[in-house]
Structure 1
Amino acid sequence: MGQQPLTPSTVVAGQKGGNPAAYELAKTWQEEADLARASLQKAAKKMKKWADEKRRFLEFEEGDLVLVKMHSILRYRKVHKGLLRRYEGPFKVLRRVGKVAYKVELPSKLKLHPVFHVSLLKPYHGDEEDPNRGLSQRAPMGAKTSYDHEVDCILKVREIHKRYCKPKIEYKVRWKGLPKSKDSWEPGEALWQFKKQIEAFNTAKANEDVARIGGGE
């Protein structure tokens, strides 16, 4: 009959004499094994505590602004992954749904169910001095991502009305490096990367309007 192989614990427990060096070596092994086991248990407790803290869901109130994690939802649509942002928003919280979900106010063009699990939401913190500082510099969803030419200046503005649709703003644009014959009307939302030119036009137009009614002195 064979016999069970010796381990550090059996060597230490069964020591009744014999080679002292072997006994000390086995004892050292046992102490190191106990220390390693204790370290693993401590690490496991830390990981559990961290996971529990991550599982504590945030709570929002009606009217709060939140960012919505839509990357995992929109990646199944025909949108290049490079154009998808991890979070979209900010959007307004409309109400709580159940214990762990919220209904948010989404643009109708997204055509998404507006109720999201709280794990897909995070609070939006605006900047009072510069409200646009915390916003992404990528194209808004549904907007044209870029143009081949830079905007030289904005020439005119008009409001387009269609039946059963909200009015839309369009700007007549003069493009850098192109003749006047290439001036074109573009949707305001598509000119998201030319905000400075739009602001300059709106400021100049407001000043002209004030001067026209005699208030420019």
Structure 2
Amino acid sequence: MKQAQDRQKSYADPKRKNIEFQAGVKVFVKITPYKKVMRFGRKGKLAPRYIGQFEVLEKVGKMAYKLALLVSIDRIHNVFHVSLLRKYIHDPSHILQTEEVELKDDLIYEECPVQILDRKIKELRNKNVPLVKVLWRNHNVEEATWEVKQNMKEKYPDLFN
């Protein structure tokens, strides 16, 4: 029995890492064990595996850390095993810049085209469909969409002048 335990230990030990966090460090929390407790928009493969950035408040025991959690997820105990934590490395690209969105009185947001970037003709079996690539207000060039030229001409005739 001891020999089998030693063999298994020799397989597992190279994969182990002694991870320690200092108080004040930001970490991500793995949410897989808590799927039934929290829902973060998406389910299945597209669901986020880690959420965060949470600040480490203190070390509790050898392998557990107390975190400063958000009020929205206060149903979860705030002490986590070290294996559920990942260190957050600050990167300015993680911060999303939001633009002000103009809402109407009835809280409806309407997309408005800014300009036409490109034109092409989609060839189907027995007809050709003219398309235009439209840049929308409050969107980047990468988010431009291909729209049917006739529909855009009817809705937004000033774009084609």
Q: TM-score, normalised by structure 1?
A: 0.38
Give the structure with the higher percent helix.
1
Q: TM-score, normalised by structure 2?
A: 0.50
- Which one has a bigger Cα radius of gyration? 1
Report 1 or 2 for greater relative contact order, CA contacts < 8 Å, sequence distance ≥ 6. Answer: 2
Give the structure with the higher percent strand.
2
